[in-house]
C-alpha cells in the first residue's frame, strides 16, 4: 500500500572505538555522522502533513544528541574506566557490543520507535500515539558509507 514518507536529518560529531576490529578502527576515532529518520503514514493529518518536521525534531533530538561529542564504546572495552575517569560524561556505552554504525542505527531506531508508539507533545507540537510509523534509521559513517536499520 502506498504511503507518504518524510525524513528528518541530523548531523552530529561522534567518536567510537571498535574493540573487536582487527585494524585501526579499534583505536578512538571520530566521524561527522548524518542521522536520517524516515517516518510514514498512509494518510496526511489535518494539516496535510505526515508529521510536522519540528514536532519530529523535538521528539527525537534527545536520542540523537546523546551521540554528539561522545565516544561510543563497548561496555567491555578495557579503556572504559580510564576514559570515564579522565573525561566524565564523555562516553556512550553499548552493552556487550561494539558500537558499530549498524548498532548505532538500531539503538536510535528502538528509541524513536518507542517514542512514536507512546506519542509526543511539547507546547504546540504533537505526534499522536501510533499514528506515524518509523520506517528506518540511517546513520552515515563517511560521505560514502552508511548503515540502516528498519523495514
pLDDT tens per residue, range 76-130? 999 999 999 999 999 999 999 999 999 999 999 999 999 999 999 999 999 999 9
* Cα 124 to Cα 107: distance, rounded to the nearest angstrom: 28
Q: What angle do CA 36, 63, 123 make, to 5 degrees?
A: 95
Query: Distances from the Cα of 21 to the Cαs of 16, 80, 99, 134, in angstroms?
Result: 12, 16, 11, 31
Closest to 90 (Cα-Cα) out of 79, 103, 106: 79
Residues 54 and 125 sit within 8 Å (Cβ to Cβ): yes
In this prediction, residue 65 carries a pLDDT of: 93
* Domains contained in the chain, CATH given: 4-150 (3.30.479.10)
Amino acid at each position: 500500500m502506498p504511503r507518504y514518507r518524510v525524513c528528518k536529518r541530523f548531523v552530529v560529531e561522534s567518536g567510537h572505538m571498535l574493540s573487536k576490529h582487527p585494524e585501526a578502527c579499534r583505536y578512538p576515532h571520530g566521524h561527522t555522522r548524518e542521522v536520517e529518520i524516515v517516518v510514514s503514514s498512509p494518510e496526511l493529518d489535518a494539516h496535510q502533513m505526515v508529521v510536522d518536521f519540528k514536532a519530529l525534531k523535538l521528539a527525537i533530538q534527545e536520542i540523537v544528541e546523546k551521540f554528539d561529542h561522545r565516544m561510543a564504546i563497548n561496555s567491555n572495552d578495557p579503556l572504559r574506566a580510564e576514559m570515564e575517569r579522565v573525561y566524565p560524561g564523555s562516553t556512550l556505552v553499548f552493552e556487550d557490543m561494539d558500537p558499530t554504525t549498524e548498532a548505532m542505527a538500531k539503538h536510535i531506531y528502538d528509541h524513536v520507535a518507542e517514542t512514536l508508539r507512546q506519542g509526543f507533545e511539547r507546547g504546540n507540537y504533537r505526534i499522536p500515539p501510533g499514528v506515524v510509523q518509523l520506517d528506518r534509521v540511517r546513520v552515515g559513517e563517511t560521505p560514502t558509507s552508511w548503515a540502516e536499520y528498519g523495514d
